[in-house]
Amino acid sequence: MKKQDAILQGVIPFQIVKLAAPLLVGDILQQFYNTIDAVIIGKYIGMEAFAAVGVASTVMNLFLFALVGFSLGVSILFSQYYGMKDYKRFREESFLALVPGSVAVVMFSVLSLLLMNPILRIIRTPDALLLYAKEYLAFIIGGMVISYLYNICASLLRSIGDTKSSLIFLTISITVNGMLDILFVGKLGIGIKGAAIATCIAQLLSAVLSIAYIRAKYPLLLFGKSDFQFKKSSVKITIHYGMVSLVHQASLYIGKLLIQGAVNTLGIYGISAYTSTTRVEGFINSFSNSGGQAISTLTAQNHGAQNTLRVKGGLKWGLILMILFGLISSIAMYVGAAQFIKLINYSVTENEMHIGIGYLRCISIFYVLCFTASSFVGYFRGIGCINIALTGTILHITARVVLSYILMERYSLTAVAIASSIGWCMVVTFHLITYMHGKSSVRYIQSKERYSID
């Protein structure tokens, strides 16, 4: 268990970077799932289909990132059990997450399909885009259990510090996805649904490879028949961690969904510009997300091992590194706004470019706050204070949605950038006050939020 010893005893800044680097590459590659779909669809089908993928992606992310949130919650338990060297409970947790969890996801998919059309109508999707969006979403949502299986396996590997393996499987999946996109959409002319089918096939491949690898490489951690346990305490803690993290991620994308509704009032050019800029933000956010996940993994393992000094050091060095990368990302986004947009949408019009540049340059000024917030989210998740992370996100999303609608008429798409920046200011302030209120208050909140895992 060398990876465990390194995380529990190694040099903290080095361990954070070592954990974050494969996660960063993985997050960037993950952006290619939707970006490849959007670029190929825009090239072979047209601007309306390209804009429809932007609308569909917002709806899709509401459901898919809810599942990612559940996986992140379970990964905290994986990391803490691994830090304790309680491999029996680790295996029992892997059973609960993979088997009953997959059944629940299938039922969730059915519900999501029923809600798809009403949601598209609620966010005022233009009629010209509606058919494209529905066709794309039907296949993506129908295959959610595939995405869930991969994310649980990836969370298991990341929780023990093996971030490289999940990256390899994701790379294979991305490559297959791109090849199938060109085949289905470009060569066979299947249309927008061809891109969705390609994504499902690629994710299925990554899930199968991940499960096979875990069984071969880490048999001690994957459940067997003796681990088919439905202990009340285990089910309760799994639901608690999983559902709070699910609500955390879902609230983030509910906010994005509501903002998409405001953006949809700008017309197809505004929607297309927003689609391009959100793809750019997705790549920048990869640095923030991977850093936050690395801090969470390091914190959770050391928290499970009751190594308080390393938990504190993880937050300190995590903040230093994240603020540094946040500043670099802000500069890159501001200076390269036009080039980034052209890279995403090679057929961008002058009107779209003007709207997109204004948005990116405005939001880039405050992007370091996004990185700071991610550091605190990783820390609070790692020590089990997941409700604090959830509260901060709800605070941010509420401000972002309300201000976007208030300012949209006057500032167009830049209103979303202004609203997001104000939201980040609020959430960072909340995290700082919560952390600095006193170590005892954090422990008190932790004791109230965590179920005993000893």
Q: What is the pLDDT of residue 452?
A: 41
Nearest-angstrom CA–CA distance, 154 and 160: 10
Eight-state DSSP code of residue 182: I
Q: What is the pLDDT of residue 423?
A: 93
Lowest mean pLDDT among 235-244, 395-404, 412-421: 235-244
| Selection from 31, 16, 8, 26 nearest residue 324 by Cα | 16
pLDDT bucket at 33, cuts 50 / 70 / 90: low
Residue 448 has pLDDT above 50, yes or no: no
Query: Which secondary-structure segment (H or E) carries 311?
Result: helix 308-335
Q: What is the pLDDT of residue 343?
A: 81
Q: Which residues contact 431 (CB under 8 A, 6 or more apart)?
A: 372, 373, 376, 377, 380, 388, 392
Lowest mean pLDDT among 71-75, 87-91, 224-228, 412-416: 224-228
Nearest-angstrom CA–CA distance, 296 and 378: 4
Q: What is the mean pLDDT of the chain?
A: 83
Q: What is the pLDDT of residue 188?
A: 86
Q: What is the mean pLDDT of residues 161-174?
A: 85
| Selection from 377, 361, 349, 218 nearest residue 290 by Cα | 377
What b-and-e string marks burial along 216-238, b requiring 16 or more CB atoms within 10 Å of the CB? eebeebbbeeebeeeeeebeebb
Residue 454 has pLDDT above 80, yes or no: no
| pLDDT tens readout for residues 94-110 | 888 888 888 888 888 88
Q: What is the mean pLDDT of residues 313-317?
A: 91
pLDDT bucket at 372, cuts 50 / 70 / 90: very high
Residue 369 has pLDDT above 90, yes or no: yes
Cα 413 to Cα 84, 335, 355: the distances in Å are 48, 19, 7
Q: Following DSSP, what letter does each residue of 123-155 receive, concatenated?
A: TT--HHHHHHHHHHHHHHHHTHHHHHHHHHHHH
Number of residues in the chain: 454
Q: Which residues contact 32 (CB under 8 A, 6 or more apart)?
A: 174, 177, 178
Q: Which amino acid is at 410?
A: R
| Structure tokens, 310 | 């390393």
298 contacts 19 by C-beta, under 8 angstroms: yes
pLDDT bucket at 32, cuts 50 / 70 / 90: low
Q: What is the mean pLDDT of residues 245-262?
A: 81
Lowest mean pLDDT among 25-34, 84-93, 119-128, 379-388: 25-34
pLDDT above 90 covers a percentage of the chain that reads 18
76 contacts 285 by C-beta, under 8 angstroms: no
Q: What is the pLDDT of residue 6?
A: 60
Per mean pLDDT, which of 77-81, 115-119, 150-154, 415-419 is the most reliable?
A: 415-419
Q: What is the pLDDT of residue 220?
A: 82
Nearest-angstrom CA–CA distance, 308 and 312: 6
Eight-state DSSP code of residue 305: T
Nearest-angstrom CA–CA distance, 154 and 137: 24
| pLDDT tens readout for residues 342-361 | 887 766 788 888 888 999 99
pLDDT bucket at 31, cuts 50 / 70 / 90: low
Q: Which amino acid is at 427?
A: V
Q: What is the mean pLDDT of residues 104-128?
A: 83
Residue scoring higher pLDDT (201 or 1): 201
Cα 241 to Cα 64, 307, 323: the distances in Å are 17, 21, 28
Q: What is the mean pLDDT of residues 1-5?
A: 50
Residue scoring higher pLDDT (63 or 17): 17
Q: What is the mean pLDDT of residues 300-314?
A: 85
Q: Which residues contact 45 (CB under 8 A, 6 or more apart)?
A: 132, 185, 191, 192
pLDDT bucket at 427, cuts 50 / 70 / 90: very high
| pTM of the full structure | 0.73
Q: What is the pLDDT of residue 5?
A: 54
pLDDT bucket at 376, cuts 50 / 70 / 90: very high
Nearest-angstrom CA–CA distance, 417 and 20: 27
Cα 419 to Cα 59, 281, 397, 401: the distances in Å are 21, 15, 9, 7
Residue 442 has pLDDT above 50, yes or no: no
Nearest-angstrom CA–CA distance, 97 and 404: 37
